Chain A
């Protein structure tokens, strides 16, 4: 059974490769081909399986749009109904598809971009196809489809249509001040989770540190955080409700840090300033080390601590992540104002 499937798959691949090997008109690849065609669901590219006679059949299946069952599931197409193929040729693993003028109808930029994306994704999913050349009424479309330069062979659909990658999210978090630019790596990790947590706290979302759809949706609408108070110069704001610390220069928030302040309201609110700094401070009452400590009132300091939960948990100090505390230590020099704000009732 397994062998017969392998043979069937291999024969399909051989047919497709044979068709791709030479310059051939549309009818040349007449073997049955199983591949995905790409539609849209809530504006995002979504694949649907099809079997059709060769690449032209797959393109015709794409142009036909989602079937009734798929439409009921929410699949849509940006390709205008009734768009016809004028010609389709394959040469050197590049498919040149010439479509009727109807493919250009409408003025909605999102739709115009999406329909080319559907076509490119569908053809690129066919084994062996390396690129797509789009022609309209035998000519070269210029400027009609946003995001695509169709004077050239298209190798990939434009990334704007796909969900944001991790690197994009990290870049946005860094640009908004929730993480350091050095944290933009494209790889998941603790630094990203902490930045997401800080963003969730600032935005009033569930404090999970998990990059989920709610976070990406909120990031799409996010603007740079603004200080609670209007004061010139360099200063720190600690927001007890949101559980974040802000580094501020001339009322511009430079960084937002995830913190954990005193449990049961043990961190006093008010206007203070940094009066004592110790790179390795020893807490006598609690017999623990507090690295990168910047004291701003009595024995209460911003400092690094191994445990920084998403809620107020300390004896009154402001706990920070080991990665963040040295940055705050460097920023909060002697005399730097520290405003502790209890912003929620």
Chain B
């Protein structure tokens, strides 16, 4: 018995020793390989490779990481410029060199404004919102040529301290050109459509007016249907044209002293006539003395015509629409409130999108292009106003438009919107 125990223990001991030897051998081999991968400046072959110490291993890893980071910076497609808190450039990547025409050597240490020059005059507004920190500007290269750039900026923070600013930018010439082509296409198509539309409209009107002979009741109905359908198409074409004009940035804004209260009262008169059958009550409630302000009346008129028409359209018979006008230190605020069908909550963020129409409304009132609010928002924004709303499905909707007391800035342009 004891012999067996002895043999077993010896056997186990042997296994342990063998394990130890094997482990020792493998460990050494791994390390030997790491040392071999170090770059060029290797010691002369005759001297044995020094044993790797802990310090050396960390330096190696740092160098490797730096090389990798440099490779990343050099290879990303976007231009990257980092400035310190004094506004001096501390990083300028390869893409930035390519796009701006300055070498990193020339750029580092200089003020950002020297190297990235901005042509504000050419910078057309393409995206109406500044999403996060993105914006679109024309950059001027070292050789004085320029290109449109999409820019995003953020703070450069380390250990809770702001050390500078990081700017990422991209040459968006291609995207800009595509946008221009798209607008030109829509514009061209819309104009081409207008000729046959005018023909249909005129001929159906001529039929209706009896110029070709008296019509039977059914013929009259048919001609009326043709006429109203054509009017809808013409409205759509006009809206499309207006949108392309606004988006091209060439629209003119001609502010004039305007009595907004009077404008709204005039519009309400027209709406009452047009929606007479619906027997809705439309009232105006003026809370302060509303001053005359410098805004473009043609543009702003479209805003209120649209909001009030929507209120009438999307409110049932005998419903009520209230307009409240007030002013604060900086703006004239107009509220248009209805107790109509409302906008479903899940659709509320799409309200100002092109072609948006409330799903709950398309069945009720098919006449609508969905371009109205998109245009309205554009107009309000180029007039330096704001628009917002709240709504509850089944209860009603309220829109607010604020227009600055200081007025809208004039915008020189070559186009005006067609009403």
A-B interaction: no
- Seen from chain B, the residues whose Cβ lies within 8 Å of a Cβ on chain A are none
- Seen from chain A, the residues whose Cβ lies within 8 Å of a Cβ on chain B are none
